[in-house]
């Protein structure tokens, strides 16, 4: 799980849970293994080295209790990239790129080293394919073109933050690069419900950290409705609660109501219809939520042109609201 506190939850625990689930159903090996598709990750940044790619893959295989991984992804780029700034800015910062963290000890792992390391895992039968996450058009094209030049298997996927209130990947070159007519890489959308904000459950009562008094905050955290009522996640996912984001969410909720559906249904069915998206990742806390999502994704009828156009009009008035903030001040906390 991410984030992990190292005590109650450690990185790799999710793989142990999935491994047990597969083993009980005889899906971990042999003929049964082909019935499931397993994707997992190596963390990003300077952790991504040829040595660690192999070591972390072996660790994942051991925890999963299986012979191979279908898609092995980088959790974020091996190099500096403004795409991993979690919503603060999309601007490239050359000062950050030339910092000691990135340029010390020989610099970040190159595209060449990355592609050859992933090919090594494929040749050993440990993975079937590999992918990227939280990257941009430069990183995607750099990897695919380098892999092809070296005779290696190019990445098959890129995972990115994408929802009604975060459509940047359609407009920053990623969609064009990933297109079947160009690099032909599948796009996995994550946070399609914007950390729960696009379910509408935080519209009437704000997220815990956005409440007025400390007492109200602490009381709300006793019975969290989701990530936005948890201290760590709520700070990490603030980008979905900017004033601009919440204004857009109210507008999308009105469209959903007019169309006779929930905001959750509108959000997920809209994702399904975008040409960029090949897979939408949705997290669930209970079976009811899972069944609800499956119902929305299996509805064959697309959203109407009128609904899609109403959504686009909101987007044109309030573009990339997660990168907007009315709390900007002299310091990080807006003071």
Q: 């399904």: which residue's tokens?
A: 272
| Per-residue pLDDT, 333 | 65
Cα–Cα distance for residue pair 226/206, rounded to 1 Å: 12
Specify the long-range contacts of residues 27-31, CB closer than 8 Å, at least 24 apart: 28/64, 28/65, 28/66, 29/66, 29/67
- DSSP per-residue letters across 189-204: EE-TTGGGGGGTTTSS
What pLDDT is attached to residue 65? Answer: 97
Answer whether residue 147 shows pLDDT above 90: yes
**In terms of Cα–Cα distance, which of 76, 79, 58 is closest to 67?**
58
Number of Cβ within 10 Å of residue 121's Cβ equals: 22
User: DSSP code of 188?
Assistant: E
Q: Percent of the chain scored above 70 by pLDDT?
A: 95
Tell me if residue 256 falls in helix, strand or coil.
helix
Count of other CB atoms within 10 angstroms of residue 189: 23
> What's the pLDDT score for residue 230?
87
Asked if the model's pLDDT at residue 227 lies above 90, the reply is no
Query: At 188, phi and psi to the nearest 5?
Result: -100, 115
The pLDDT value recorded for residue 97 is 93
Question: What 3-state DSSP class applies to 178?
Answer: helix
Q: Distance between terminal CA atoms of the chain?
A: 32
Q: What are the tens digits of pLDDT across the range 78-123? A: 999 986 555 567 889 999 999 999 999 889 999 999 999 999 999 9
Which pLDDT score is estimated for 324? 86
pLDDT score at 90: 82
């Amino acid at each position: 799980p991410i984030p992990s506190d190292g005590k109650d939850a450690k990185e790799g625990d999710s793989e142990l849970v999935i491994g047990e689930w597969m083993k009980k159903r005889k899906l971990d090996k042999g003929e049964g293994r082909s019935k499931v598709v397993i994707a997992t990750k190596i963390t990003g940044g300077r952790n991504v080295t040829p040595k660690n790619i192999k070591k972390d893959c072996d660790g994942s295989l051991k925890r999963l209790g299986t012979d191979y991984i279908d898609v092995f992804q980088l959790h974020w780029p091996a190099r500096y990239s403004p795409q991993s700034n979690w919503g603060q800015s999309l601007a490239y910062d050359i000062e950050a790129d030339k910092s000691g963290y990135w340029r010390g000890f020989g610099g970040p792992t190159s595209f060449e080293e990355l592609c050859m390391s992933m090919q090594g895992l494929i040749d050993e039968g440990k993975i079937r394919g590999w992918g990227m996450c939280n990257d941009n058009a430069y990183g995607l094209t750099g990897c695919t073109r380098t892999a092809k030049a070296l005779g290696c298997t190019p990445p098959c996927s890129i995972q990115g933050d994408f929802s009604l209130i975060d459509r940047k990947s359609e407009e920053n070159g990623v969609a064009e690069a990933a297109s079947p007519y160009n690099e032909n890489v599948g796009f996995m959308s994550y946070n399609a419900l914007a950390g729960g904000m696009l379910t509408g459950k935080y519209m009437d009562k704000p997220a815990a950290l956005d409440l007025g008094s400390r007492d109200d905050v602490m009381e709300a955290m006793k019975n969290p409705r989701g990530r936005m009522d948890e201290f760590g996640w709520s700070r990490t996912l603030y980008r979905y609660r900017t004033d601009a984001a919440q204004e857009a969410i109210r507008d999308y909720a009105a469209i959903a109501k007019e169309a006779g559906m929930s905001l959750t249904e509108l959000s997920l069915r809209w994702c399904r219809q975008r040409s960029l998206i090949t897979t939408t990742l949705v997290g669930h806390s209970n079976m009811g939520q899972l069944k609800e999502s499956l119902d929305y994704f299996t509805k064959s009828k697309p959203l109407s042109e009128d609904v899609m156009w109403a959504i686009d009009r909101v987007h044109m008035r309030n573009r990339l609201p997660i990168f907007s903030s009315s709390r900007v001040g002299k310091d990080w906390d807006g003071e």
